[in-house]
Amino acid sequence: MLSQPLEKRMRRGTTNQPASQPTTQRVTQQTTQMVRETSSTESAQGLDLSVDLAPNNPHHLRLVNPVMIASGTFGYDGYGRGITEDMDLGELGAVVPKTFTPSPREGNPEPRWYPTSYREAWDTGDILFLNAIGLTNPGIEAGLKDVTPGWDRWNATYILSFASDSVEQFGEMASMADKGTGYQAIELNLSCPNVADGSLFGHSASLTAQAVAAVRANTDRPILAKLAPNVPNIVEIARAAVDGGADAISLCNTMPAMHIDTQTCQTVLGNITGGLSGPGLRPISLALVYQVSKAVDVPIVGIGGIFSGEHAAEYILAGASAVQIGSANLVGLNAPWRILAELKDWMRQSGLSNLQGLSI
């Protein structure tokens, strides 16, 4: 039963936007202090934000709250650079660092971002966020040797992300990852092309099932399957991922997009096309989360355009068990802590003690 305050909020919709922030460091200190102050009183107020993203897996994936950092936006390099000591990652649900691939990748030609400063774009009201990074990374072997050990300095729950262009390599990477330490689960980026026929894994139910099954055969850690939005039947793809052994579904990756500068008559990205993220992706992803949540019996992680606590609440009402914060981190690294604090405020104002069973 929805509380009366919540029903009123659902009728009037969500319109909150994040306020502009002075400097990342100062605002982060203010926000994390606010999170700590509210966390200390949660028990007295009866708030329970905990969630298990792998309830059917013997290892489980229990998070203290549903707010996660999305892959590619963990610090300035995707692997934690710029995360300072006052940013207590243990106060967040989980962190998904940048995706690893079988071999090192240099990524796409510059420019890779549009606009070049998400922060300036947000301050001026330009919410067209495009990127074409190309999965720049050192490769999974170097990543497991040189990158993941450094995450130990932060007390957090980590989810390793990787992608491949063949079913066999998905299995091999899972075998390597299963021997690693410092992370509790795996998220499969299924938006890469299959070398066998050029189609994207996430565009084919068969390839999705095969990729997930190859990973499941080589690890018993919880698996999240991250799906692409631009498919004719997202429910079919999600069901295939679950059939292959996924414990949860992440929705969604970026939407194919482009933008042309009519003054220069050139595309704004070096790769010509890229991925749409940020506010423009949110209504698309919300619809996919809603559809999939009604069709599969595993937790859903909502991703796309979450810039406020009420945006996170939208995803939870649509059927998500957790959310990942992506583009907002590029506006300010404090975003996840601020959004978590705002989500708690929304719960209090709505008369909620937990987030279970809220989907519309």
Cα 247 to chain centroid distance, Å, stands at: 16
> Quick one: pLDDT at residue 195?
65
Residue 124: how many CB atoms within 10 A of its CB?
A: 10
Inform me whether the pLDDT recorded for 15 exceeds 50: no
Q: What is the tens place of the pLDDT at every residue in 320-344?
A: 999 999 999 999 999 999 999 999 9
Which CATH number applies to 4-8+45-349?
3.20.20.70
Mean pLDDT, the chain, rounded, equals: 89
Catalytic residue among 49, 94, 192, 200: 192
Please enumerate in sequence order all residues whose Cβ is within 8 A of that of 19, keeping only pairs 6 or more positions apart, or say none. Answer: none
Please enumerate in sequence order all residues whose Cβ is within 8 A of that of 263, keeping only pairs 6 or more positions apart, or say none. Answer: none
> Quick one: pLDDT at residue 1?
42
With cut-offs at 50, 70 and 90, classify the pLDDT of residue 23: very low
Least confident residue range of 42-56, 207-221, 306-320: 42-56
> Quick one: pLDDT at residue 18?
36
Mean of pLDDT values over 35-40: 53
Cα separation values, 31 from 37, 69, 322, Å: 10, 16, 20
Cα separation values, 303 from 67, 217, 245, 312, 343, Å: 10, 27, 21, 9, 15
Nearest-angstrom CA–CA distance, 352 and 20: 28
For the chain, the structural domain boundaries read 4-8+45-349
Nearest CA-CA partner of 94 in 123, 70, 124, 118: 70
Question: Is the separation of the CB atoms in 299 and 319 below 8 Å?
Answer: no
Inform me whether the pLDDT recorded for 91 exceeds 80: yes
Question: Is the separation of the CB atoms in 164 and 195 below 8 Å?
Answer: no
With cut-offs at 50, 70 and 90, classify the pLDDT of residue 117: confident
Inform me whether the pLDDT recorded for 305 exceeds 80: yes
pTM (2 d.p.): 0.89
DSSP-based three-state secondary structure for 126: coil
With cut-offs at 50, 70 and 90, classify the pLDDT of residue 199: confident
Percent of the chain with pLDDT over 90: 79
Q: Is the peptide bond before 22 cis (omega within 30 degrees of 0)?
A: no
Q: Could you write out the DSSP letters of every residue in 58-73?
A: TT--EESSSEEEPTT-
252 labelled catalytic = no
Inform me whether the pLDDT recorded for 13 exceeds 80: no
> Quick one: pLDDT at residue 311?
98
Q: What is the tens place of the pLDDT at every residue in 146-160?
A: 999 999 889 999 999
With cut-offs at 50, 70 and 90, classify the pLDDT of residue 163: very high
Inform me whether the pLDDT recorded for 35 exceeds 60: no
The amino acid that residue 19 corresponds to is A
Query: How is residue 74 written in tokens?
Result: 């963990």
Question: Is the separation of the CB atoms in 49 and 355 below 8 Å?
Answer: yes
Percent of the chain with pLDDT over 70: 87
